[in-house]
Structure 1
Amino acid sequence: MKHSSVLPYAFTEHGVAMLSSVLNSDRAIKINIAIIKTFVKIREMLSAHKELTEKLNRLERRIEKHDGEIHAIFDAIRRLMAPPERPKRQIGFHSG
């Protein structure tokens, strides 16, 4: 999804931290702190459970592979849906 045309459904920890510098309301700051604490807890859980981390990494690689394959399928479908170009008839006399 590095160069994807779809919008993300989630922010990274750094993205949330950057939001706190833009949003200055008390509520936004409290929510950002809660989200960052959640990221910290997730990181602690992942470091404690290496097997889970490895599974998540494998899933992520699989999803990235499937993402490329899905794009290829949609491209093929679009090409099939496009009307075929008909050969243009030449005007004039043909010798031969």
Structure 2
Amino acid sequence: MTAAVKIDEERKDRLEELQAEVRLRTGTSVTQKELLERFIDEAYESREEIIDSFRESTVPLSESEKAAMRRGRFSSGVETTEEDIDDTLYG
């Protein structure tokens, strides 16, 4: 079964550019159908990220966001209590 999907001109142009670049860089001609099928197959593997991208809020954080936060952490060597935080925030 074949289905038609309408996309705007800008995305159609980008698809055509990618199609041409694949041919130029690999010497292999691919159809737009093949490109779209590849996109869908790859997107299916990372569907959680795609689903999350449609959420209004990113709470809770995705696994990649959690990992990015952990990479940026460091220890200052100072123990901080809840009272310290409250004093800083609320004076």
Higher relative contact order (CA 8 A, sep 6+): 1
Same fold (TM over 0.5): no
Question: If each structure's helix is expressed as a fraction of its own residues, which one has the higher value?
Answer: 1
Q: Which has the larger radius of gyration?
A: 1
Q: What is the TM-score with the length of structure 1 in the denominator?
A: 0.30
